[in-house]
Copies of this chain bind each other. A is one copy, B any other.
């Protein structure tokens, strides 16, 4: 029974993916103050899933073991059909995709077409082909379902919501520039501090890997693809770029920091072992930057006026916020706009990690209440 003070569980949430971000999201959702408008109707790991249209009886302590002992293997299209049956007037259904699966992302148009909202930190959809992006848009428009992906850029930081607000209120974006990769941020905050010398590039990468700041294979960060994906996602929220959007992240001009000679090295350990052979190259770049009073930062730029989108290693003055203000594995994003000119709107903070990524997902979910 519902009243003003005890709202009905009007939002059914299906959670796909129970890794670091997924587990943290489930914890945040279960901890939402009562009376909560949310009920979890489905949990799916890569091995098992369970579903009940009236909501699962799970707690922070129980969901892992209940999911582990669920009999079903995941039949994802079947799950989508079951969820579609829950959609009803006054009953929203949201699929929260906490995987990084390309296959799940490919199904978003179908899911949205059933009137099921999609919320995700999965970058694959909006950084993929233009065709998939446009099918997501048109499916959502037709059914009225919403697609929200705040956590794909900057995790819990208000990056996409700020961009959308700027655009929706009539501001004109001229340039977005930022350090979008927590890994790249950590590496260059430590490698290039303004001094001509310092620790070896390979040593910094190695420490970053030990601390868990890189993917198991550091080349997956150093190739710049993660930054290119984020730039692709942002570009798709900028009206002035319509008609000039990259056809997926592979179309973004990206400087890879993976030495060509190491491009085929399959194991992360072997990659780290061979990386010192390339330290002299980075030493020279650091020294050259320092001689100009500059630091090296791996940045992403969406220059709307020139239509340039690129992920590259650039030099910034020692007095620039990318030099003075960053630390740890911070992300920083500067929005240069018609209104925020000459000084940009800046958002900064941790841009990776399970708790802050789950927060970005959860903040999207709250937009549906």
Identify the A interface with B (CB < 8 A).
4-5, 28, 31-32, 141-142, 144, 156-158, 161-162, 165-166, 168-171, 319, 321, 324-325, 327-328, 330, 335, 339-340, 342-350, 353, 355-356, 358-359, 362-363, 366-367
Contacts and interface: CB of A to CB of B under 8 A. Distances in A.
- The quantity of this chain's copies bound in the complex is 2
Given A4-B141, A343-B328, A345-B348, A162 B169 contact: no
Q: Find the residue from A4, A162, A342 having the highest chain B CB count within 10 A.
A: A162
Contact of A363 (B141, B165, B356): B165
Contacts of A366: 165, 168-169
A362 B342 CA distance: 22
Contacts of A168: 32, 362-363, 366
Nearest to A345: B349
A369 to B, nearest CB: 9
Nearest to A335: B349
A359 B5 CA distance: 32
6 contacts: A158-B161, A165-B363, A169-B363, A321-B325, A347-B347, A367-B367
A325 B325 contact: yes
A361 to B, nearest CB: 9
Contacts of A328: 342-343
Contact of A359 (B156, B171, B321): B171
Nearest to A323: B324
A356 B31 CA distance: 35
A359 B144 CA distance: 25
B339 A359 contact: yes
A128 to B, nearest CB: 25
A346 B156 CA distance: 12
B144 A28 contact: no
Contacts of A327: 343
A121 to B, nearest CB: 13
Contact of A339 (B162, B171, B346, B356): B356
Given A4-B144, A345-B350, 14 more contacts: A5-B141, A156-B339, A158-B158, A168-B362, A169-B362, A169-B363, A321-B321, A325-B325, A335-B349, A339-B350, A343-B349, A345-B347, A345-B348, A346-B347
Contacts of A330: 343
Nearest to A27: B170
B339 A355 contact: yes
A163 to B, nearest CB: 11
Contacts of A344: 349
A325 to B, nearest CB: 5
B343 A356 contact: no
B346 A348 contact: yes
Contact of A350 (B5, B32, B324, B340): B340
Contact of A340 (B144, B325, B346, B356): B356
A354 B219 CA distance: 47
Given A4-B141, A349-B340, A349-B343, A165 B169 contact: no
A5 B363 CA distance: 27
Contact of A169 (B28, B324, B325, B353): B28
Contacts of A28: 169-170
Nearest to A343: B328
A108 to B, nearest CB: 19
A36 B251 CA distance: 34
